[in-house]
Amino acid sequence: MSRPKVYVTREINPEALNLLKENCEVTSWTGSSPVPRAELLKNVSDVDALFCLLTDKIDKDLLDKAKKLKVIGTMSVGYDHLQIDEIKSRNIKVGYTPNILTDATAELTIALLLATSRRLLEANREARTGGWAAWSPFWMCGPGLSGSTVGIVGFGRIGQEIGKRLKPFKVKRILYQSRSAKDDQANEIGAERVNFDELLKQSDFVIVTISLAPETANIFNEEAFKKMKPTSIFINTSRGGVVDQDALIKALQNKTIWAAGLDVMTPEPLPLDSPLFKLENCVILPHIGSATLDARKNMALLTSRNIIAALKNEKMPEELIL
Ligand code: DGY
């Protein structure tokens, strides 16, 4: 019997690749940058499964060409790059990678928050380029976490882990906003559920962990930034699409808010001429939330396991219920 065919859209962890090879005929794009669209479309025409990344757009156009596709395994927890209605209408299964990148992303969020509030990148640059004239009472100061109110927008796995990590920093209050109450998880951390407006108004730090969906697109707009404190810090490690980026740029330029730390933006990579790069009060990271060695290895392995299980008609370890 012929083995199922899988297309892998990037060089991946060798163990994850071997796992696929033990079970399937594998073809891969091995470039270090995303597979060119034409190449991707050409390669999906006869595959049973697709191993993709968040940089690959899986839309109607692609699905129309992938007539035999039975399963998509995305090496990500986010799935805004997948056109879910089209996938669902074709009965294609989707596997994704929740849980295993939660700690890595929560860690990075705290790192980004501290880098932004305590101006670490700016301070490092000053030290290296002669800006460090002497210890000075007001130089390189920024808001501290101790005694502050932190608002977490989206209180899923990652939001909750961020909350837990904030506790040792002696924050006074942790607020959260989410569609449904998460009383048990919130009680564990001592977090209080508030609505979006209250969270914006009361928080010294606003952390965004909400996933991108039509109802969350651009929720951080001009109006939202105006509700935040002028001393507040905005941190986004979810998706750039939840932010109206022009409004954020304006808010940072006009000091409507104090600073922003972004691991995600629109588009990615952010063009070098983006006004965001010109702002001293904006820390920009290149979407590295899950970039620990273990998390990335486990994400690749889980994606392979999801695909193999679906091809064998077995329960997938992490199926996205469409
Ligand atoms: C995801 O998995 O969706 C993350 O954004 C990758 O770090």
Measured CA to CA in angstroms, residue 299 lies from 42, 74, 162, 288, 296 at distances of 26, 9, 20, 14, 5
Tokens 């294609």 belong to which residue? 92
Neighbouring-strand partners of residue 95:
73, 319
Tell me if 207 CB under 6 Å of ligand 1: no
Ligand 1 geometric centre to CA of 78 (Å): 6
CA 104-149-154 angle, to 5 degrees, is: 45
- Report whether 229 contacts 131 (CB < 8 A): no
pLDDT digits (tens, 9 = 90+) for 179-233: 999 999 999 999 999 999 999 999 999 999 999 999 999 999 999 999 999 999 9
- Confidence bin at 86 (pLDDT 50/70/90): very high
Ligand 1 geometric centre to CA of 268 (Å): 13
pLDDT of res. 231: 98
ipTM exceeding 0.85? yes
Percent of the chain with pLDDT over 70: 100
pLDDT digits (tens, 9 = 90+) for 108-152: 999 999 999 999 999 999 999 999 999 999 999 999 999 999 999
Pick from 76, 288, 318 the residue to mutate for probing ligand 1's pocket: most ligand atoms within 8 Å of its CB. 76
Tell me if 151 CB under 6 Å of ligand 1: no
Tell me if 261 CB under 6 Å of ligand 1: no
- Confidence bin at 83 (pLDDT 50/70/90): very high
81 flagged as catalytic: no
- Active-site residue identified among 10, 70, 287, 305: 287
pLDDT of res. 106: 98
pLDDT of 249 above 90: yes
Tell me if 78 CB under 6 Å of ligand 1: yes
Closest ligand 1 atom to residue 289 Cα is 7
pLDDT of 65 above 90: yes
- Confidence bin at 32 (pLDDT 50/70/90): confident
Nearest to 29 by CA among 310, 41, 18: 41
pLDDT of res. 218: 98
pLDDT of 1 above 90: no
- Domains annotated for the chain, with CATH where assigned, are 5-98+293-311 (3.40.50.720), 102-284 (3.40.50.720)
What average pLDDT does the chain have? 97
